[in-house]
Amino acid sequence: MDIEKITSRVIFLWIMLISSFIVSKSREISIFRFGPNKDLIILDVCIDNGYKYTIVVAFCFTNSVIRALNHNILQSWIINTIQDKQNNTRINPLQAYEVSITSVIYNWFDFFMYMNILMSQIDMLLIEISADIIMTTLLTGYYLKLNKKKTIQNEFVNIDWNEPISSENQPLIKKLNILYS
């Protein structure tokens, strides 16, 4: 099993364990309520009706889209283009500063808003998680389609490297050559 798969499953189990413990120990705490109510206060604004609650939910989804774009496009570009010493791509210095500074400013804005929203009520956390999962799924699907030539999908075969390669394994061998070349 791949180290990435093991690590992912350990992290997921850790999250489930801690979440179960927290939920089992807290029944009457206001943070564990759902929907608009008089105790839901974000940035000193009481979110006590459906209209205000809908605005907060819309903000959470929109901000999750922006966060995913920042993380998966801008920060990836910074790491893979600006910071990668082996990348010989010509870089426009003004663009590099603009993208880097915009990303940093957004990270701080997002952190501030994220903390204020998440610490107000548990449903806000669930909304943020849902929006992030949706965006991650869409972006992962996009990148997998983009790299479809390099992806082997559900093809498992035992290959005895001491035997001549049979005709049934030829397509897989070609895919492996593409993947690892």
Question: What pTM value is reported for the model?
Answer: 0.62
Could you give the C-alpha distances from 83 to 18, 92, 107, in angstroms and in order?
Answer: 36, 13, 18
Q: Is 51 exposed, middle or buried (0-12, 13-18, 19+ CB in 10 A)?
A: exposed
Q: What's residue 160's pLDDT?
A: 53
pLDDT band at residue 169 under the 50/70/90 scheme? low
Whole-number Å distance between alpha carbons of 150 and 159? 20
Asked whether the predicted pLDDT for residue 19 surpasses 90, the reply is no
Digit-coded pLDDT (tens) for 59-83: 888 888 888 888 888 888 888 888 8
In terms of pLDDT, which residue wins out, 31 or 130? Answer: 130
Whole-number Å distance between alpha carbons of 29 and 36? 15
